[in-house]
Chains A and B, each alone.
Chain A
Amino acid sequence: MRAAIFIRLALIEARRGGLAWLAPLCIALGLALGLFLAQLAITESRLLQVAVVAALLRLSAALIIAAQVASSVRREADERRLELLLALPLARATQYLGRLAGFIALGVVLAAFFSLPLLLWAPPAAVLAWGASLAVELALVAAAALFFAMSLTQLVPALAATAGLYLLARSISAIQAIASGPLAEHSLAHELGRGTVNALAFLLPTLDRSTRSEWLLYGPPDIRSFSVVLAGMLIYAALLSVAGLFDFQRRAL
């Protein structure tokens, strides 16, 4: 019941904060870019459109959620609403997780909305897989943004940290492949660098395997690999939530 209140608050805040026109604007821009690029293509114009539009919408959704979460937390702190909430007879865990649930709900709505235009070019099953994966990915981004916004307290560092984590998670596999390439020299510095990259990879989710345009282009993934992708993101979102809650519990009034 309390979580439902937080969810409602997050959705109302997002609507009043301009998300109601920002999301359709992203879709319109994506469609316009897709149409423009399709005019230039000499083959595979449909695949080009869906790949570019999906990539653009995915990135937009992640940035919108991160900015929404970080600015919402900042506003709460500026208006002293956070202190007020902490003074209420509500467990801190309920407050933190309720707030996160609100942002996750917002991510689900955004993922569903951003999936709709892809039905123009891709089969429904593939769009469903893409949309479900995007919803979980946005939940992870929301958890990361909430964690950084609560712990770093400043808007710009929180946004930068969230964007950095997100982009690094999407490219860590490619960075690992470069570090382990057969042409790489075998020196101590290189081995150290490779070890660092591999160690870093253990601390990151593999977002390059989630919400893949490949599903829209060549067919949905099999259930097993899809479940593995979702499970990986959920585990990481849980880690970020617990870490954020840990930090929030320590906060003094």
Chain B
Amino acid sequence: MRDDERPLGSLPAWLWLALAAALALQVGWRTLEPVAAPRELDLPAPPSSAALRVASFGEPEAIARVTMLYLQAFDYGAGNLTPYRKLDYRRLVDWLHNVLELDPRSQYPLFAAARVYAETADEMRARLVLEFVYREFFVDPDRRWPWLAHAALLAKHRLKDLALARRYAQAIDQYTRASDVPLWAKHMEIFILEDMNELEAARIMLGGLLASGTIHDPAEARFLAERLKALEARLQPAR
């Protein structure tokens, strides 16, 4: 107790009662207050990245991530009856694009796009998101290739669209330059060509790769040479 305060016991009883009643009234009011019924909500049109930047007051990285949490919350539950797979995916893609513009080095929007939104059973919606991942890949291929690689796998296994998967795999092969891009990602196109039964094209591509001298890792060279041999063996009966 500070020197300038009187003891609590000196306060009149009605004041204690008034305080307790006011507190009880507040808690009672909140208890009886009707809970907002869940509604079917769709995503609103996204604010432009410039508007988000103004609202961030110089903290674009923080607002980019908080916006992703907001976007993530647009799902069944949390007061919304619309599951994310029924959202307006064009708007969703615009949101993801604007968030990515706020912090281009963040992986969050592309992760959510490739791993969450593109995995919807609705093919049209999935294609919209996969194309978004493909477009954004070219902005920073060495950092964004994992999401395009995942998009290629989705196109191949879920959409069964090998041509689309090949287009994505081709982009990874052609545009990534970083040394940490793994073998499987760089040479995904060859394996997709095999799946497309384009064995001759796959053989030429693999042979060209080995002959180019760009493979320095002996294990990688050995693996690809064995793969080439297997391809040639598969091609023999056809000739």
Contact = CB atoms under 8 A, between A and B. Distances in A.
Interface string B83-100: 000000000000000000
A56 B45 CA distance: 27
Interface in A103-124: none
B69 interface: yes
Given A42-B72, A44-B65, A44-B106, A207 B53 contact: no
A213 to B, nearest CB: 4
B108 A43 contact: yes
A61 interface: no
A183 to B, nearest CB: 9
Contacts of A35: none
- The interface residues of chain A, by DSSP majority, are classed as helix
Interface string B60-81: 0110011011001100000000
A51 B108 contact: no
A86 to B, nearest CB: 29
The contact size tier of chain A is 20 to 34
Given A174-B54, A175-B54, A178-B51, A52 B106 contact: no
A253 interface: no
Contact of B107 (A40, A44, A170, A171): A44
A54 B108 contact: no
Nearest to B106: A44
B83 to A, nearest CB: 16
The contact size tier of chain B is 20 to 34
Given A37-B69, A47-B106, A178-B50, A170 B58 contact: yes
Contacts of A213: 59, 61-62
A18 interface: no
Contacts of B68: 41
B111 interface: yes
B34 to A, nearest CB: 26
A214 B54 contact: no
A28 interface: no
Contacts of A212: 58, 61
Interface in A162-184: 167, 170-171, 173-175, 177-178, 181
Given A43-B108, A48-B65, A52-B66, A208 B58 contact: yes
A246 interface: no
Contacts of A41: 65, 68-69, 108
A125 B111 CA distance: 28
B107 A43 contact: yes
B160 interface: no
B14 interface: no
A228 to B, nearest CB: 16
Contacts of A42: 72, 111-112, 115-116
B57 interface: yes
Most buried by A among B51, B62, B105: B62
B50 A40 contact: no
A164 to B, nearest CB: 12
Contact of A181 (B50, B56, B66, B106): B50
Can you list the 7 inter-chain pairs with the closest CB atoms, starting with the nearest? Answer: A208-B58, A170-B58, A174-B53, A55-B62, A51-B62, A55-B59, A174-B54
Interface of A: 37, 40-44, 47-48, 51-52, 54-55, 58-59, 167, 170-171, 173-175, 177-178, 181, 207-209, 212-214, 217-218
Given A171-B53, A178-B50, 12 more contacts: A37-B66, A40-B72, A41-B68, A42-B111, A42-B115, A42-B116, A51-B59, A52-B66, A171-B54, A173-B58, A208-B57, A212-B58
13 contacts: A43-B108, A47-B106, A51-B61, A54-B59, A55-B59, A170-B57, A170-B58, A171-B56, A174-B53, A209-B58, A212-B58, A213-B61, A213-B62
